[in-house]
Chains A and B, each alone.
Chain A
Amino acid sequence: MELFVWMEGTGLAAFVRTVPWVYPAVETAHYVGLTFLVGAILLIDLRLLGFARSLPVSSMIGLLPWVWVGFVINVISGSIMFVYGATNFGTNPAFWVKMSFMVLAGANAFVFSRAAARSGSQWLDSGNVPLFVRAVATASLVLWVCVVTTGRWMAYI
């Protein structure tokens, strides 16, 4: 809690508090980052699950840089919003549930990258995605939907 109080006393928090356009701008950036991140995740996972079969799996996995760009935008914009309202967000259960889902989504992505490195040569070009990888793609879709949902719920708890 002391950490959260300290955060709200920093110059960054004061900047967000006193300059009226900063918070809306940062929140808008968070939505643009979300569109990059979740938009690309959706396209990759749905392709792994058999949607849009005429598009090569390997090309769709090539959309991963969009996920990273969105992730970086949202870590930065999210951190700024957190510092501004640290005592509120830090004690908000929805925030911690959201962070937990993000950790799970990250672990899931790690499992995917391991599977792609190990057996990807057998399915990246052929498009015959193994059941295990499909399960990972499904988990990814569910987890990111949970991240978005809990993120929006933070404003109402």
Chain B
Amino acid sequence: MRFLEWLQTTALAKMVAETLWGYPLLETLHTLGMAMLVGALGLINLRVLGYKAELPILGTRDLLPLAWLGFTINLISGIALFTSDAVYFWSSYTFRIKILLIVLGGINAFVLSRAAFREAQAGSSRYVATTGIRWVAGSALVFWLGAIIAGRLIAYTP
């Protein structure tokens, strides 16, 4: 708690909280990063579930840099937004749920990239995912959608 209180007094926190452009600029970056991350991972997960089966599954790895770029933008902008009101965010249940969903989504992306791409490399050209991998992909979509919803609701809920 001390740490969070200190965080709110840093120069970064003051810039975000007190300048006219700080908060809207970071929120805009956070929104664009969200579209990059969820757009790229969303398509990979949908492909694993069988959507657009003509897309080569190994080719969808080309989308990972976009996902990483979005994630990096959102990690940095998210931390900056967090510092502006650290005690409030940390005490928010909705914020905690959002972070949990992001961690779960990240674990799913890791499992998927290990398992699905390895299966695809071993298998035939037209990849069909096993049931287990489909569950990973399907739950990832739920986690990312949930993170977006929780993120917006932080402003309205305890």
Contacts and interface: CB of A to CB of B under 8 A. Distances in A.
B35 A34 contact: yes
Interface stretch (A11-19, A45-53, A84-92): A45-53
Interface stretch (B98-106, B122-130, B145-153): B145-153
State the main secondary structure of chain B at its contact with A: helix
B63 A156 contact: no
Nearest to A46: B66
Nearest to B54: A59
A27 B56 contact: no
Interface in B61-113: 62-63, 66
Given A54-B58, A55-B62, A28 B149 contact: yes
B49 interface: no
Contacts of A63: 43
A27 B55 CA distance: 33
B75 to A, nearest CB: 18
How many interface residues does chain A have, given as a range?
20 to 34
A55 B56 contact: yes
Contacts of B157: 24
B38 interface: yes
A23 to B, nearest CB: 8
B62 A52 contact: yes
B32 A43 contact: no
Given A28-B152, A32-B148, A153-B24, A56 B55 contact: yes
A153 to B, nearest CB: 5
B118 interface: no
Interface in B117-158: 145, 148-149, 151-153, 155-157
Given A59-B54, A63-B43, A42 B35 contact: yes
A123 interface: no
Contacts of A62: 52
A148 interface: yes
B63 A24 contact: no
A81 to B, nearest CB: 13
B1 interface: no
Nearest to B64: A52
A35 B148 contact: yes
B52 A59 contact: yes
Contacts of A32: 145, 148-149
A40 interface: yes
Contacts of A35: 34-35, 38-39, 42, 148
Interface of B: 20, 23-24, 27-28, 31-32, 34-36, 38-40, 42-43, 52, 54-56, 58-60, 62-63, 66, 145, 148-149, 151-153, 155-157
